[in-house]
Amino acid sequence: MRFRGRSRKDEAPPQDTAPPPPVAPPGATPPVLVIDALGRKCPIPIIMLAERIREIPVGQIIAVLADDPAAHTDIPAWCRMKSQEFVWEETLPQGGWGFHVRRSY
Amino acid sequence: MPRVSPGYFDAASAEPLHPAGRSALVGALETAWADPARLYGAARSARLELDRARSRVAAVLGVRADEVAFTASGTQAVHLGILGSLRSRRRVGRHLVVSAVEHSSVLHTAEAHERDGGETAIVGVDETGRVDPAEFAAALRPDTALACLQSANHEVGTVQPVAEAAAACRAAGVPLLVDAAQSIGRTPVPDGWSLLTASAHKWGGPPGVGVLVVRKGTRWRSPMPDDEREGRRVPGFENVPAIIGAAAALEAFTADMTAEAPRLSGLVDMIRKRVAETVPDVQVVGDPARRLPHLVTFSCLYVEGEALLTELDRLGFAVSSGSSCTADTLRPSHVLEAMGVITHGNVRVSLPRGAEASAVERFLAALPDAVARLRAAAGVTGA
C-alpha cells in the first residue's frame, strides 16, 4: 500500500486508482496527434490537451505523453467533465504514460 | 483573543481558539501547573481539574470518563488507537481495513503495519468521496483485527456511513475505530464504534491536545513502552492546562454550533452554488447534502493549486488546497485521486465559527477574477 508522501526515484509510480486498460484495446485507432508533456507538471498536460484537441477531426484520437502522476487522475477526470472519450492508457518504456483521448465533438 | 482576519477560511486546519477555551487555559496555567500524579495539594488540585476536564469531554461525547484518554495530538491518538488495537488482537489476525480517503495519520499507520508484516485492505469511494457500506462490510474477514472509518472527510466534507459500517463490524466481531477529528463539536457523534479519535484545535481548543476514546469491553494494549499516565494509554506528562482549555472549548463550541452550524451550512450552500455559476470550468466536489456544515471544496481546471492559494492569500483569504505539492508530498491529494476527480486547482474553504457572510461575499466576488488572471498567465485561451 502506498498513498502519497516521498516518492523515491527508483520506485514505480503508484497506480492504485481506477486502472485503465493497460494494453491497447483490440482495434484501437492510432493517434493522429501526439503531445509531449513529459516532465511537465499538472495542470500543464491538461492545458495542452484542452488547447490541441481542437486541431484533430471529431472521432480521431489525440495522445498525451505525461509523467506527472496527477495526470493519471486528471486526464480521465477532464474527459468526464468535458464529455470527451478517454480510450486507454499505455505505459511508456522510458517512464510515464500515454493517455489516448477521442475527440467526441 | 487570537487575531483572526475575516478572510480566514481554514477552520479544518485549525479553528481559532474559542474565548471559553482561552479563559479556561489561562486560568489553568495559574492553578493546574503541578504534576497530577503527585500527592501534595497543588498536585491534587491539578489532578482534580484534569479529571473534571475528562468528565466534561466524556459528557459531550456521550461516553464514560474512564474511556477518555488525552494525547498530544489527533495524530498521536490515531497512532495509539490503531497500533494498540492491532497489538491486542494479534491472535485474531493481522488484517486491517481502512477507507481510501482516511487522514494521512491513519494511512501512514497502515503502511507501518504492512512494513511490520501486517496486511491492509483499502476500501474505495465513489465520486463524492463516500464509502459504500456494503463494500466496507465485504472487506471484513475472520482475521480482521481492526477497521477504520472517518466520520467525515477532511478534504471534501463528505460524511461517511459510520452507523452502517459499525453495524457490519459488530456483526463480524471486528472493532471499528472512527477518526472524528473533523466532525466533533459540529455534528452529533456517530454511534456503535469501539474506538474514537479527535483533535482539540479543530473545535477551538488549544493545539497539542488529542482525544483517544476506547469503549469498555474493547481490547487494547499499549504499543509503547510502559507508562503510568492516562490510564496507561498515553505516555508522558499531560498538558493539563491545555486539556482544561480544550474541555471548556468543546462544551462552548458544541453549544454554539446548535445555531451556528446551520448558518455556516447555508453559507456553504451559497458558495457551492455561486462558484459553479461564476467560475468557468470548475468542479465543486464532495456530497452536496451528506456533508460537514462548514466545509466545501472545488477544483478549477487549468490552474495550479498553489498559485491560486498564493493569489487568494494576497487578496486576504486563507484557504487550503489538496493540490499543494510540498517537499514531502510530491503527489496530488490521495482523497481527490480516490474520488477520480480533478486534482489540480483545488481549493478547500472551511468556515470557522462566526465567519461573516460579508467576508464570504467578498471571497466569491474576488474568486472569478483571480482564477481568470492565473489562467491568462498560464496561456489558457478558453478551452
A-chain residues near B156 (CB < 8 A): none
Phi/psi for B351 (5° steps) reads -85, 125
The reported pLDDT for the residue numbered B329 is 54
Q: What percent of chain B has pLDDT over 90?
A: 94
C-alpha cell of residue A62: 489525440
C-alpha cell of residue A5: 508522501
Please give, rounded to a whole number of angstroms, the shortest distance from the CA of A27 to a CA of chain B.
Answer: 27
The reported pLDDT for the residue numbered B2 is 75
- Please identify every residue of A annotated as catalytic: 42
Q: What percent of chain B has pLDDT over 70?
A: 97
* Residues B166 and B176 sit within 8 Å (Cβ to Cβ): yes
| Average pLDDT rounded to a whole number, residues B248-267 | 98
Nearest Cβ partner for B337 among A1, A47, A73 = A73
The amino acid present at B320, given as its one-letter code, is S
CA-based torsion, B108, B113, B114, B118: positive or negative: negative
Q: What is the pTM of this model?
A: 0.93
Cα atoms in the Cβ-side hemisphere of radius 13 Å centred on B6: 9
| Model confidence pLDDT, tens digit, residues B162-220 | 999 999 999 999 999 999 999 999 999 888 999 999 999 999 999 999 999 999 999 99
Say if residue B77's pLDDT is above 60: yes
* Residues B176 and B27 sit within 8 Å (Cβ to Cβ): no
Convert chain B into a string of H (helix), E (strand) and C (coil).
CCCCCCCECECCCCCCCCHHHHHHHHHHHHHCCCCCCCCCHHHHHHHHHHHHHHHHHHHHHCCCHHHEEEECCHHHHHHHHHHHHHHHCCCCCCEEEEECCCCHHHHHHHHHHHHCCCEEEEECECCCCCECHHHHHHCCCCCEEEEEEECECCCCCEECCHHHHHHHHHHHCCCEEEECCCCCCCCCCCCCCCEEEEEHHHCCCCCCCEEEEECCCCCCCCCCCCCCHHHHCCCCCCCHHHHHHHHHHHHHHHHHHHHHHHHHHHHHHHHHHHHHHHCCCEEEECCCCCECCCEEEEEECCCCHHHHHHHHHHCCCECECCCCCECCECCCCHHHHHHCCCCCCEEEEECCCCCCHHHHHHHHHHHHHHHHHHHHHCCCCCC
Compute the C-alpha angle B99/B155/A77, nearest 5°. 80
B-chain residues near A52 (CB < 8 A): none
* Residues B207 and B74 sit within 8 Å (Cβ to Cβ): no
Question: What residues 19-78 of chain A have any CB closer than 8 A to a CB of chain B?
Answer: 41-44, 46-47, 50-51, 54, 69-70, 72-74, 76-78
Cα atoms in the Cβ-side hemisphere of radius 13 Å centred on A27: 0
Q: How far is CA B166 from CA B14, B104, B119, B136, B254, in A?
A: 28, 22, 21, 10, 24
| Average pLDDT rounded to a whole number, residues B117-139 | 98
How far apart CA B74 and CA B199 sit, in angstroms, is 4
Whether B340 and A73 lie within 8 Å, measured CB to CB: yes
| Model confidence pLDDT, tens digit, residues A1-21 | 556 443 433 344 444 444 555
The reported pLDDT for the residue numbered A6 is 39
What mean pLDDT, rounded, does chain B reach?
Answer: 95
Compute the C-alpha angle B237/B242/B246, nearest 5°. 125
The complex's ipTM?
A: 0.87
Closest CA to B160 of B178, B185, B176, B140: B178
The reported pLDDT for the residue numbered B381 is 76
| Model confidence pLDDT, tens digit, residues B315-373 | 999 999 876 554 345 578 999 999 999 999 999 999 999 999 999 999 999 999 999 99
Closest CA to B50 of B252, B247, B214: B247
| Model confidence pLDDT, tens digit, residues B269-294 | 999 999 999 999 999 999 999 999 99
C-alpha cell of residue B76: 498521536
Whether B343 and A6 lie within 8 Å, measured CB to CB: no
**Residue B169 bears catalytic tag:** no
Residues of chain A short of pLDDT 70, as ranges, are: 1-23
The reported pLDDT for the residue numbered B190 is 83
- Chain B residue with CA closest to A17: the answer is B338
| Average pLDDT rounded to a whole number, residues B30-46 | 97
Whether B283 and A70 lie within 8 Å, measured CB to CB: no
How confident is residue B161, by pLDDT bands cut at 50, 70 and 90?
very high
Convert chain A into a string of H (helix), E (strand) and C (coil).
CCCCCCCCCCCCCCCCCCCCCCCCCCCCCCCCEEEEECCCCCCHHHHHHHHHHHHCCCCCEEEEEECCCHHHHHHHHHHHHHCCEEEEEEECCCCCEEEEEECCC
How far apart CA B34 and CA B244 sit, in angstroms, is 13
* Count of residues in chain B: 383
Widest Cα–Cα separation across chain A: 41
Please list, residue by residue across B73-104, b when 16 or more beta carbons sit within 10 angstroms of its beta carbon and e when fewer do.
bbbbbbbbbbbbbbebbeebbbbbbbbbbbbb
